[in-house]
Amino acid sequence: MLSSMLTRLGLHTPPTVRDRVRAGMHLHAVLGALPHLVRLDEEAAATARLMGKVAIEFRVFDGPKVVLSFADGALKVSRDACSNVGLFFPSCSALNRMFDGEKVNPIPFKNFLGHMKALQLLPKLTDRLTSFLKPSTEALADVAFRAKHVELSLLVGLAATQDLVESDPKVRRVAKELHDATMVYEIPGGPVAHVKISHGAIEVGAGPLKDPTTSITIKDVDLALGLVQGKVDTFAANGSGDIRASGNLHIADEYNNLFDRVGLYLK
């Protein structure tokens, strides 16, 4: 592997665990929320329709990659799909700095001149996602916007647990004990998200599941917003019934121990 050879030659320093975990979360969980954004937001959907047919790869040296595949307004996210244009980052740290708001210019590669329109439109889509994940106080005053913010934040947080399992050695040891299960997170009258755990792999999606192993019910969107913002005492909320768990509670404890760690990496 090139990175290993360069490391032996003293020409490359492998990324820290934290940088690798954060890079994976940014590509797989944050960008992975774009199809949900397109589903929930007409402005984002309109931009996706203008993207045409293109598969854009984000690749990090000695780090993760993801491919955003656009076609007729639909968007799919994959870790291993083929791409016809790419954006390269020299390190996990560089990618993370970009997601943290710094000015970092990726290196275009693979036929980027033939897909300039899509590359020019992509920041409009990612900026729209940022407006939902890191909203202003004024935007949150809108009830419909608040529900979308909560749903996207929940989906990103749940999906980020996969990169914890893959890239944090301490978490990986704990994750080996995870039981195969299905979980549903539900806000009555609001968003629903689900988690499937199978042989240590974690798959996250929107909507309910039939006969989940465990269900977590959050009283309402405003309480969920407080949870997203870290303003709610979860122990007290569980005691009062504002957050209710049913089914296999051991599974809920196992997975929520992972979920709680996401905030240490994503802000």
pLDDT value at position 11?
44
pLDDT value at position 233?
87
CA angle 135, 141, 144 (to 5 degrees): 85
pLDDT value at position 3?
54
CA angle 107, 110, 115 (to 5 degrees): 90
Judging by beta carbons within 10 Å of its beta carbon (0-12, 13-18, 19+), is residue 222 exposed, middle or buried? middle
What class does CATH assign to 137-264? Answer: alpha beta
pLDDT value at position 9?
44
3-state helix, strand, coil in the chain (%, to 5): 50, 20, 30
Q: Single out the residue of 253, 81, 96, 125 nearest to residue 181, CA to CA.
A: 253
Fold classification of 2-133 (topology level)? Nonspecific Lipid-transfer Protein; Chain A (3.30.1050)
3-state secondary structure of 123: helix
pLDDT value at position 198?
92
In tens digits, the chain (267 residues) has pLDDT values of: 545 554 554 445 889 999 999 999 999 999 999 999 999 999 999 999 999 999 999 999 999 999 999 999 999 999 999 999 999 999 999 999 999 999 999 999 887 777 899 999 999 999 999 999 999 999 999 999 999 999 999 999 999 999 999 998 888 877 777 889 999 999 999 999 999 999 888 999 999 999 999 999 999 999 999 988 888 888 898 899 999 999 999 998 889 888 888 999 997
Residue corresponding to tokens 């036929």 = 111
Judging by beta carbons within 10 Å of its beta carbon (0-12, 13-18, 19+), is residue 4 exposed, middle or buried? exposed
pLDDT value at position 230?
84
User: Residue 76 phi/psi, 5° resolution?
Assistant: -120, 145
pTM to 2 decimal places: 0.92
pLDDT value at position 256?
87
Instruction: State the Cα–Cα distance between residues 177 and 262, nearest whole angstrom.
Output: 18
Q: Where in the chain is the domain with CATH 3.30.1050.10?
A: 2-133, 137-264
